[in-house]
Amino acid sequence: MSKKRYLRRLVFAILSTISLAAQQPSDTEIYKKFDEIVGIQNTRLYQGVAFREKYRTINEKTQYFASPRFLKGSIRYAGQDYYGLDMKYDVYDDRILIKLVASVGGATLEAIPDWVDRFSIDGNRFRNIRQVDTKEINQYGFYKVSMEGEHLTLYTKYIKRRLSRMDREFIYYEFGQGKNSYVLHFNNRYLDIGSKKEFITLFPEYKKQIRKFYGQYRKRKNRDTEGFLISLTKFLDEQYVNTIKE
């Protein structure tokens, strides 16, 4: 065990013991307190790649999730949890950017992808789905946890497409919405999902209900595919739960 990891666990244990005599803090509060004690710059979070912007953009049509500005988030990195960070998620290149604290220059660090298990940004949870997790999907990387039920979890892989533009003096880029892909976690398997046929193949016992759902909400599917799949996954999760109880 590394010295920093040992120290982190030791401080966690001490703070947990002390807290028994007072109001019980959450694990999040304890980990944040640890980072204050040892200095977050001395943790493995600050092991990454110095970030350099690859694309010149001039408007809000950027490669970033939700906003081109830093948003508050958390991350599980190299086996440790970190909270209250200033973060960006670059959807186009599938990378996470973390703003360093001012005491070490306030620069931006690019997280090492293989070290990231999961992260949260602006209240949205993401998970890193790797080849070690499954060989049954076409695309790996960071997926948003769009819906998590008792037995079914829907993940969304956001996609952005890059467009080059020419100004009078320079080239800049705009990023538009691409075709997202979706993965369903069910019975310890990760499976590409999205079409009516795929859902019926996976849940043949609910074929009539699935066909009815697609027919009833066809317009929503065309307008908001992620929202449609969230609703369908919730419906199937409830059906599956009820079937088990019978």
DSSP one-letter string for 62-78:
-SBSS-SS-EEEEEEET
Q: Given a cut of 90, is residue 147 above it in pLDDT?
A: yes
Give mean pLDDT, residues 92-114.
85
**172 pLDDT above the threshold of 90:** yes
Q: How many residues does the chain have?
A: 246
> Which residues in 80-207 belong to E strands, given as ranges?
80-90, 95-99, 108-110, 116-121, 124-129, 141-148, 153-157, 160-166, 171-177, 181-186, 189-193
State the pLDDT confidence band at 160, using cuts at 50, 70 and 90.
very high
Contact indicator for 161, 62 with CB cutoff of 8 Å? no
Is 206 a residue whose pLDDT tops 90? Answer: yes
Q: What is the pLDDT of residue 29?
A: 58
The answer on pLDDT for 16 being more than 90 is: no
As to burial, measured by CB atoms within 10 angstroms (0-12 exposed, 13-18 middle, 19+ buried), residue 55 is middle
Q: Is the pLDDT of residue 20 over 60?
A: no
Instruction: Say yes or no to pLDDT of 35 above 80.
Output: no
The average confidence (pLDDT) of the chain is 85
Q: Is 206 helix (H, G, I), strand (E, B) or coil?
A: helix
- Residue 11 contacts residue 31 (beta carbons within 8 Å): no
d(CA 47, CA 43): 8
Query: What percent of the chain has pLDDT above 70?
Result: 79
Q: Alpha helices of the chain — where are they, by DSSP H?
A: 3-19, 27-38, 196-202, 207-216, 218-223, 225-245
pLDDT for 217 beyond 50: yes
C-alpha distances in angstroms, 195 versus 58, 165, 183, 192? 37, 34, 11, 9
Per-residue pLDDT, 100: 84
Question: Rounded to whole angstroms, how far apart are CA atoms 135 and 232?
Answer: 25
Token code pair at residue 79: 């086996």
Average pLDDT estimate for 5-29: 51
Residue 15 has what pLDDT?
46
**35 vs 144, residue with greater confidence:** 144
Alpha carbon distance 141, 153 (integer Å)? 16
- In this prediction, residues 211-224 reach a mean pLDDT of 94
> What six digits make up the tokens of 151?
């037995």
pLDDT of 17 over the 50 cut: no
pLDDT of residue 2: 56
